[in-house]
Amino acid sequence: MFSTDKIYEKFDKRVWLSSPTMHGKELEYMSEAYNTNWMSTVGKNIDEVENQVSEYIGVKHAVALSSGTAALHMAMKLAGLKAYGMPKPGVGALQGRKVFCSDMTFAATVNPVVYEGGEPVFIDTEYDTWNMDPKALEKAFEIYPDVKIVVMAHLYGTPGKMEELISVIKKYNAILIEDAAESMGASYRRKETGTFGDYNIISFNGNKIITGSSGGCLLTDDEEAAKKVRKWSTQSRENASWYQHEELGYNYRMSNVIAGVVRGQLPFLDEHIAQKKAIYERYKAGLKGLPVSMNPFDENNSEPNFWLSCLLVDRDAMCKQVRSENETCYIKENKKSCPTEMLEALASINAEGRPIWKPMHMQPIYRMNPFITDEGNGRAKTNAYISGNAPDVSMDIFERGLCLPSDNKMTLEEQDRIIEVIRSCFE
């Protein structure tokens, strides 16, 4: 357990990583759904969410769905249809096909590939933004030139190197699915994330910068694609007076009640981003002088939404840390620390931190899938690291990084104490 000569008093109320911030309008719109008896998957709230989201982000069509994962699944079906044509009944659109995916992300980015019968191929991360490495993507296409779909996620609200990534994707005539689940409101060269791909998604999950407790949207400029998703997400019901179905469908449409929460949240997106940015800047200033750095971004070309503030411990300031599949331990060293120690320190004062996403190529379920670095086959590099050599980038960030409490209701005093506790770990 974390120990120090200083004893810090626990917060009376837990300081969360990132919890919902309600404003009052949410309840009004939910009540409107209740009072008008529009409690299903149609209603004014859904219409307003789709209109406001498409207008804010700058796409022609937003389709409100039950989750960001549902939106990713629909995007995957659309991409498979566009790349390979209509599959046989009962066969996934990507059956037997490889798909390039971000390695450092949540499993929801990747799982829809498998839903559709595809095989994820994981692309290593780069240090500048902690996102998909364009050089590794180029190498992946050299190894697997027949791949036609790329799924790229913007980690923790920070845009990836979109110009370089899109250049590679266009070179190989592939389709981009942009996972902007964590980056709503972020921009690259003044263009919103969620507009760069053929099919894009955002999430309104409970800890996102805008939340409905659940929900998400598929975003596209393709009117026909939007129509397909509206049909697929309502069990693919045909236009008949009875229930007729000619293709596989899903129960993925957003509830009008959930849409009421999202509708009430949307006017506060810019305010939430400003609050999150202030938290990031206070951490950056408060941790100055320590052997750590904040999660980076391209200051010349991108503006994150700063959803989560994270730090990375310098290599030579890492104490010994070992992680198994379910447990972790460390050895305290003078003037050094590690994510495990800092997370224990935060827990000791009733504050929530979190490890960086464990890379997909390290997950037991995907451990046999191909993994590509800028040097080629990354599995050899992963095995070399186990023997004591340098890790791949994704693994390195996972080993040395952690997510700090980033709740936009956190007070200045609470954040100051969190900074003090982090600093104490290096004493």
Catalytic annotation, residues: 208
Amino acid symbol at 175 = I
Residues 309 and 283 sit within 8 Å (Cβ to Cβ): yes
Beta bridge partners of 232: none
Q: How far apart are the first and last CA of the chain?
A: 16
Give the closest residue to 415 by CA, choosing from 285, 321, 312, 293.
285
CA 163 – CA 298 distance, rounded (Å): 12
What lies within 8 Å, CB to CB, of 304 at 6+ separation is 156, 157, 158, 159, 183, 186, 277, 297
Among left, alpha and beta (phi > 0; psi -120 to 50; other), residue 130 is left
| The one-letter amino acid at 145 | P
Residue matched to tokens 């207008």: 55
Q: Cα dist. 29→23, 211, 227 in Å?
A: 12, 14, 26
Sign of the dihedral defined by the CA atoms of residues 169, 367, 80, 252, in that order: negative
Q: Is the dihedral of CA 384, 389, 393, 396 positive or negative?
A: positive
